[in-house]
């Protein structure tokens, strides 16, 4: 048996499968990038066997839907002749290596924050626009002494579900947790809390980019991830639902399924679900990365648009910010005009403890 001397490269002595097993036991693609700096031989081994892609797929199984990787603005310098096909194949492997290594770096290096861009549609709304889904983007449950919340339509059957659908700030977002605050009706006797019994989350994209997504029907969306159910407490606090692992949302659409109703309204005897605030915590991967959905929409092209680390916007989208400012101005005008009888409730609103309740799987 040939013995390995000091300074010899173990990749030259071990079987290929064993070398791959050793290298893929590393924590992530970032470690592989460091390994590629050891020697040209190690770099070629990592790239040739697609190890960065392999580890990225372990981190995010949703990447199995990637059909190919494109680098926007890059040019393919092919060579004519017998070796051109080998050159093109190697260039594609290098491109994938750069893309997946940088994607992993973005997921680990960028700061997490609220990723909601806008509220799209609710499956039902009791009084529109006073109780619309747009109110769930407002952290406060009262604006100028008027309650701020979304309310479903009432149902005799408490098992009837509801959905709230949102657009995220990027077509690719790594989502780690969703926060929901059920609404407590402080203007009703007993201050009832209209929570759901449990929640579930879906992530995906619009099937046809030319169609409007102002429809909560699942036929308009292609879902690439569906979570298990999380139990929701009937408490007026921001409840945290932590996903078992970070999820790559492909397409920038997130839907909250509110399953079963627990609170009946005394005045009509119907069951309602009401939500005052929603947050989606994660890391956007734009403008560094984009996607191109292919037809049929089971696959997509991963596009590297820049090798600069993405950052969260300093403030909410202009649409969301404008909506909230308009609502605030409307409430102020109502007060100035003396129309405050509708919003006086006869007692001081108690400030709730802002501690969050976390539900881990």
Residues paired with residue 168 on neighbouring β-strands, in sequence order: 116
Is 90 exceeded by the pLDDT of residue 285? yes
Cis (ω within 30 of 0) for the bond into 129?
A: yes
Higher pLDDT, 340 or 181: 181
In this prediction, residues 135-159 reach a mean pLDDT of 93
pLDDT at 350 (0 to 100): 39
In this prediction, residues 294-310 reach a mean pLDDT of 87
Give the count of beta carbons closer than 10 Å to the beta carbon of residue 329.
11
| Residue 124 tokens, joined | 């039902």
Is 70 exceeded by the pLDDT of residue 324? no
**pLDDT classification of 145: cutoffs 50, 70, 90:** confident
DSSP 8-state code for residue 260? E
Q: Please provide the average confidence, as pLDDT, over all residues in the chain.
A: 82
Higher pLDDT, 67 or 30: 67
Length of the chain in terms of residues written: 361
pLDDT at 339 (0 to 100): 56
Higher pLDDT, 351 or 43: 43
- Would you kindly state where each structural domain of the chain is located, as residue ranges? 9-73+85-106, 111-208+215-284
Pairing of strands 196-206, 230-231: antiparallel
Q: Which residues contact 98 (CB under 8 A, 6 or more apart)?
A: 71, 304, 307
Pairing of strands 196-206, 221-226: antiparallel
pLDDT digits (tens, 9 = 90+) for 101-127: 999 888 877 788 999 999 999 999 999
Question: Which residue bears the tokens 């009706």?
Answer: 185
Cis (ω within 30 of 0) for the bond into 287?
A: yes
pLDDT at 9 (0 to 100): 67
Does the predicted TM-score (pTM) go above 0.85? Answer: no
Is 80 exceeded by the pLDDT of residue 196? yes
Among the listed residues 143, 131, 158, the one whose alpha carbon sits nearest the alpha carbon of residue 275: 131
Among the listed residues 141, 262, 115, 296, the one whose alpha carbon sits nearest the alpha carbon of residue 201: 115
Equal fold, 9-73+85-106 vs 111-208+215-284: no
Pairing of strands 150-151, 263-264: unpaired
Is 60 exceeded by the pLDDT of residue 344? no
Higher pLDDT, 324 or 225: 225
Strands (E), 123-237: 142-143, 146-147, 150-151, 162-168, 172-182, 196-206, 221-226, 230-231
Is 50 exceeded by the pLDDT of residue 256? yes
Higher pLDDT, 63 or 16: 63
Could you confirm whether domain 9-73+85-106 is CATH 1.10.287?
A: no
pLDDT at 349 (0 to 100): 35
In this prediction, residues 131-146 reach a mean pLDDT of 91
pLDDT digits (tens, 9 = 90+) for 259-275: 999 999 999 999 999 99
Q: Which residues contact 347 (CB under 8 A, 6 or more apart)?
A: none
Any idea what the Cα angle at residue 360 is, between residues 103 and 256, rounded to 5°?
70
Task: Provide the H-helix boundaries in the chain.
Answer: 16-23, 29-36, 40-48, 51-59, 84-109, 318-336
In this prediction, residues 130-138 reach a mean pLDDT of 96
pLDDT at 230 (0 to 100): 98
111-208+215-284: CATH topology: Jelly Rolls (2.60.120)
In this prediction, residues 326-341 reach a mean pLDDT of 57
Kindly give the interhelix angle for 40-48 and 16-23, rounded to the nearest 10 degrees: 90
């Amino acid at each position: 048996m040939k013995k390995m001397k000091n300074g010899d490269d173990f990749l030259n002595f071990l079987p290929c499968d064993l070398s791959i097993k050793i290298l893929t036991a590393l924590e992530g693609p970032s470690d592989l990038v460091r390994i590629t700096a050891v020697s040209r031989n190690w770099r070629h081994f990592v790239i040739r066997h697609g190890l960065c892609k392999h580890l990225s797929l372990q981190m995010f199984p949703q990447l199995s839907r990637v059909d190919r990787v494109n680098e926007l603005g890059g040019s393919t310098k092919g060579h004519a002749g017998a070796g051109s096909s080998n050159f093109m194949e190697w260039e594609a492997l290098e491109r994938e290596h750069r893309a997946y290594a940088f994607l992993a770096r973005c997921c680990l290096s960028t700061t997490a924050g609220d990723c909601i861009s806008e509220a799209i549609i609710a499956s039902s709304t009791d009084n529109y626009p006073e109780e619309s889904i747009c109110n769930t983007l407002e952290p406060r449950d009262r604006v100028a002494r008027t309650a701020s919340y979304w309310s479903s339509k009432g149902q005799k059957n408490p098992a009837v579900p509801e959905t709230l659908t949102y657009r995220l700030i990027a077509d690719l977002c790594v989502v780690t947790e969703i926060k929901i605050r059920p609404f407590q009706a402080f203007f009703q006797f007993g201050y009832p809390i209209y929570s759901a019994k449990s929640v579930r989350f879906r992530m995906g994209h619009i099937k046809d980019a030319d169609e409007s997504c102002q429809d909560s029907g699942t036929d308009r969306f292609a879902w690439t991830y569906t979570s298990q159910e999380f139990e929701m407490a009937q408490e007026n606090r921001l409840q945290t639902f932590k996903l078992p692992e970070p999820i790559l949302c492909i397409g920038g659409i997130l839907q909250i399924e509110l399953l079963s109703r627990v609170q009946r309204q005394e005045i009509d005897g119907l069951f309602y679900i009401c939500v005052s605030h929603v947050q989606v915590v994660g890391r956007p991967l734009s403008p560094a990365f984009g996607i191109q959905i292919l037809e049929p929409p089971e696959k997509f092209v991963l596009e590297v648009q820049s090798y600069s680390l993405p950052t969260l916007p300093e403030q909410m989208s202009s649409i969301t910010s404008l909506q909230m400012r308009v609502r605030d101005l409307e409430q102020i005008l109502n007060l100035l005009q003396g129309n405050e009888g509708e919003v006086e409730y006869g007692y001081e609103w108690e400030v709730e403890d802002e501690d969050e309740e976390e539900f881990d799987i």
